[in-house]
A = this chain, B = another copy of it.
Amino acid sequence: MKRIKLVIAYDGTNYSGWQVQPGKTTIEGVVNKALSELLNEEITVIGASRTDAGVHAKGNVAVFDTNSPIPPEKICYAVNRYLPWDIRVLSSMEVPADFHPRKVNSKKTYEYKIMNREIAIPTERLYSYFIYYNMDIKAMQEAAKYLIGEHDFKSFCSVKTQVSETVRTIYSLNVDKYGEMIKITVTGNGFLYNMVRIIAGTLIEVGRGLKTPEDMDKILKGRNRRLAGPTAPAHGLTLVGIEYDMDAFLLE
């Protein structure tokens, strides 16, 4: 039995998110079906990030176990033939049998894209959130600094969460402007439910002048979801990648 780690990219537009749900088309469901068809056995992957409906990925991670004789690094090419074009497995490799993509320490990077111009460009509409207000990038950058480091992010977590521990570490949080596209890029050791979209929604309020950069400190300390801005729409968000601390495993 081998444990195989997949790096998966997808366009979330046509899916009800990652996680299998009865009666809905999900990334996880479609990947399970494709692997099961390819390997002729019942496969159920364990995903790293259960992205919401409409969220995209360039590098989500999932693992599964198989006895297949297909060389692990060839599985990505083989399974792509069973997948629709809006889901691609970018790589596949064998990992230790106890590697669990949600339990091993990792750094996750997300990108939130804002198309900031007077009138939207249609070919960008599915992968960025269109905002026609003038945005103060410097204020957004100032605000972002307050969130870097280890903090209790309770204010930036959906009240629908099932976790009670809301302390997380953000390693970097950048706001950059490329032409008419604003990119919020955040790397952390883990993110609470809707955390990146609430950070984006709050930074957007700062950009519009509805909040000041200094408000971020009060929002963090208040530990109350109502203090932060709205949850920015799913389609602006992309899970860029997940970097695992594989050292512990490689020493075994």
Q: Which residues does A use to contact B, with CB under 8 Å? A: 9-11, 56, 58, 76-77, 80, 85-91, 119-123, 125-127, 238
6 contacting pairs across A/B (C-beta < 8 A)? A9-B121, A9-B123, A56-B123, A85-B120, A85-B125, A88-B121
State how many angstroms separate the Cβ of A238 from the closest Cβ of chain B. 7
Question: Which residues of B lie under 8 Å from residue A127 when comparing CB positions?
Answer: 123
- Chain A interface, DSSP helix/strand/loop, else mixed: mixed
Question: Which residues of B lie under 8 Å from residue A76 when comparing CB positions?
Answer: 119
Alpha-carbon gap, A91 to B121, bound state (A): 12
Question: Which residues of B lie under 8 Å from residue A77 when comparing CB positions?
Answer: 119
Task: Pick the contact of A123: B119, B121, B125, B238 (CB < 8 A).
Answer: B238
Contact present for B119 and A80 (CB under 8 Å): yes
Most chain B CB atoms below 10 A, which of A9, A123, A126: A123
Copies in the complex: 2
Question: Which residues of B lie under 8 Å from residue A125 when comparing CB positions?
Answer: 11, 85-86
Alpha-carbon gap, A76 to B91, bound state (A): 45
Alpha-carbon gap, A9 to B118, bound state (A): 13
Alpha-carbon gap, A76 to B117, bound state (A): 14
Contact present for A87 and B122 (CB under 8 Å): yes
Task: Pick the contact of A11: B10, B86, B88, B122 (CB < 8 A).
Answer: B122
State how many angstroms separate the Cβ of A122 from the closest Cβ of chain B. 4
Alpha-carbon gap, A177 to B183, bound state (A): 22
State how many angstroms separate the Cβ of A182 from the closest Cβ of chain B. 18
State how many angstroms separate the Cβ of A80 from the closest Cβ of chain B. 7
State how many angstroms separate the Cβ of A110 from the closest Cβ of chain B. 14
State how many angstroms separate the Cβ of A84 from the closest Cβ of chain B. 9
Alpha-carbon gap, A80 to B132, bound state (A): 14
State how many angstroms separate the Cβ of A8 from the closest Cβ of chain B. 9
Question: Which residues of B lie under 8 Å from residue A10 when comparing CB positions?
Answer: 122
Contact present for A122 and B238 (CB under 8 Å): no
Contact present for A85 and B119 (CB under 8 Å): no
Which residue from chain B places its CB closest to the CB of A86 in the assembled complex? B122
Alpha-carbon gap, A80 to B125, bound state (A): 14
Question: Which residues of B lie under 8 Å from residue A87 when comparing CB positions?
Answer: 122
Alpha-carbon gap, A34 to B91, bound state (A): 45
Which residue from chain B places its CB closest to the CB of A90 in the assembled complex? B119
Which residue from chain B places its CB closest to the CB of A87 in the assembled complex? B122
Alpha-carbon gap, A9 to B130, bound state (A): 15
